[in-house]
Every structure is written in C-alpha cells, then in structure tokens.
A and B are shown apart, each in its own frame.
Chain A
Amino acid sequence: MGNVIFTTDDLQVQCPECKGKGEVNHDGTTTSCEKCEAKGVILTGLGQTLLHFVKSHLKIET
C-alpha cells in the first residue's frame, strides 16, 4: 500500500446500469437512472463510512 491510503475507486464504483452517466436510454427516451438514483456511481462501504463521518462532523443537512 505504501503512502497511498485510498483512491476514488475505493470509495465508489461506476453504475453498471448507466455506465456512470446517471441516465438511461430506452427506445430513444432518456430517463434518469433508477439503479443509482442518477448519481452514476454506487458508494462502497469505505465511501459510505467516510461520507457518514464527514456529514456527522460537518453537520450537513441531508
């Protein structure tokens, strides 16, 4: 591991449904991707842990 603690890839994975675009195309109609709720990525456990930690300490409203 060396000094690299983690990378973006450790925090999130590209949505396989929309390939990261956040929207899907069915028969010419584009809709927002329901699988990832239009985020284009899915958080990993580490990503969720970090997000939760930051949120709880910054007191961000969700």
Chain B
Amino acid sequence: MSNNEGYPMQTEFFVIKAKENGVSVIGMTRGESTRFHHSEKLDKGEVMIAQFTEHTSAVKIRGKAIIQTRHGIIDTTEE
C-alpha cells in the first residue's frame, strides 16, 4: 500500500475530539463485507485526525465526541 499514490494529501479527512474518556473510533473495511478492522480509544480531550483510505470506507464512533467533517460539525451528545 502506498499512501502517496492512491491517497494523496488532499484526500478527505475528519477530526474527532473526545468529550469523555473511552470514546471508541472503529474503522470499517471497504468492500463487500464490512468488518471492523481497527479501533482506537480516545480519552477526554484527545483528538484523532483520520482519513478514509483504501482499507477504511466507514467509521463508527461511540461515546461523547465532537466530529468535524467537511459537511460540518457533529456533536454526538446532541439529540
């Protein structure tokens, strides 16, 4: 896998900031079956900046967090 070829710097990315301890970010595989292939646990105040890649086509976020994408900001605590 080469990040420079298929997924250059301008590839879409998103930002997750945890508002509590134990927020989990779970990457789902690209392709026919969507497995969970990767997880990250964020503690309060921790920030993760992530990209969609050839391996990851979807992300599931559990817990209180602020997510920023190019479509806007999502606060998971908002109803």
Contact = CB atoms under 8 A, between A and B. Distances in A.
Contacts of A44: 38-41
A12 B38 CA distance: 9
Interface in B9-34: 22, 24, 26, 33-34
Contacts of A12: 39
B35 A36 contact: yes
A17 interface: yes
Contacts of A34: 33, 35
B55 interface: no
Interface bin, chain B: 10 to 19
B36 interface: yes
Interface residues of A, number: 16
Given A9-B41, A13-B41, A42 B33 contact: no
Interface centre among A9, A34, A42, A45 (most CB of B within 10 A): A42
B41 A43 contact: no
Given A9-B41, A42-B39, 12 more contacts: A13-B24, A13-B26, A16-B62, A17-B36, A34-B35, A35-B34, A42-B37, A42-B38, A43-B38, A43-B39, A44-B41, A45-B40
Ordered nearest first, which 3 A-B pairs have the shortest CB separation?
A: A13-B39, A42-B39, A42-B36
